[in-house]
Amino acid sequence: MMTLPELTLAVIALLVTPGPTNTLMLVAGAERGLAGAARLIPAELAGYLTPILPLALVGATVLAAWPGLHAAVTLTAGMWVAVLAVRLWGLPATGEVGPVDARAVFVTTALNPKALIFGLVILPSPERLGANLTIFAGLVVAVALLWATTGAALRGGSRGQPRALHLLRRLASVWLGAVSLVLILRGAGA
């Protein structure tokens, strides 16, 4: 069992890693500013907790009983991230708000492979699950604010410049496409 400082460092290390949810929070910060992106944090937290709670309680038993489930979840996550990448790529360069809404953040986060690691490896602890989840929730908020703040800072330099936001969306789309390809290959090979 991890100590609380070890748990905190493990959660931070995994949460700050660029991935689909962090990419959406970055783009949301650039498109909507920090306050607009911060409104998406409850959707991110709910998205993480939806798979993590059952996984932390019974996940190891379920995955042992259905070995193909992990591959199916990974493939589904990869396909969802590919859809987001295509949607983000196709947005016009007008600076209007794109597909980064609460639904996209929730679904993307619920399908995020990081949730499997949190729910099966890092957070489960029969005697400390409540404390672990509390620490996790606080860190999700902090890291989401970090990514949204970074996006908002990028917005500050591109205010009134829809081309800069369009370029950021395109870069995020390419990144999401790469993440989706890795997930699909990993799911197909599992």
Q: What is the model's pLDDT at position 149?
A: 95
Number of domains in the chain: 1
State the residue for tokens 């995955």: 63
Rounded CA gap, 1 and 79, in Å?
A: 34
Q: What is the model's pLDDT at position 186?
A: 80
Q: What is the model's pLDDT at position 37?
A: 95
How many CB atoms lie under 10 A from the CB of residue 122? 20
* One-letter identity of residue 50: T
Higher-scoring residue by pLDDT: 148, 114: 148
- Which residue range forms the structural domain that includes residue 173? 4-189
CB–CB of 119/51 below 8 Å? yes
Read off the pLDDT band of 164 (50, 70, 90): low
Tens digit of each residue's pLDDT (9 = 90 or more) over 56-112: 888 767 767 887 877 887 788 788 878 878 877 876 655 555 568 999 999 999 988
Tens digit of each residue's pLDDT (9 = 90 or more) over 107-146: 999 988 888 888 887 888 878 889 999 999 999 999 999 9
Q: What is the model's pLDDT at position 47?
A: 97
Q: What is the model's pLDDT at position 159?
A: 55
Q: What is the model's pLDDT at position 122?
A: 82
How much is the average pLDDT of 153-168? Answer: 67
Read off the pLDDT band of 177 (50, 70, 90): confident
How many CB atoms lie under 10 A from the CB of residue 66? 10
Q: What is the model's pLDDT at position 138?
A: 97
Radius of gyration of the chain (CA): 17
Rounded CA gap, 153 and 108, in Å?
A: 23
Tens digit of each residue's pLDDT (9 = 90 or more) over 14-51: 898 888 899 899 989 988 899 999 999 999 999 999 99
Q: What is the model's pLDDT at position 78?
A: 80
Q: What is the model's pLDDT at position 161?
A: 58
CB–CB of 87/99 below 8 Å? yes
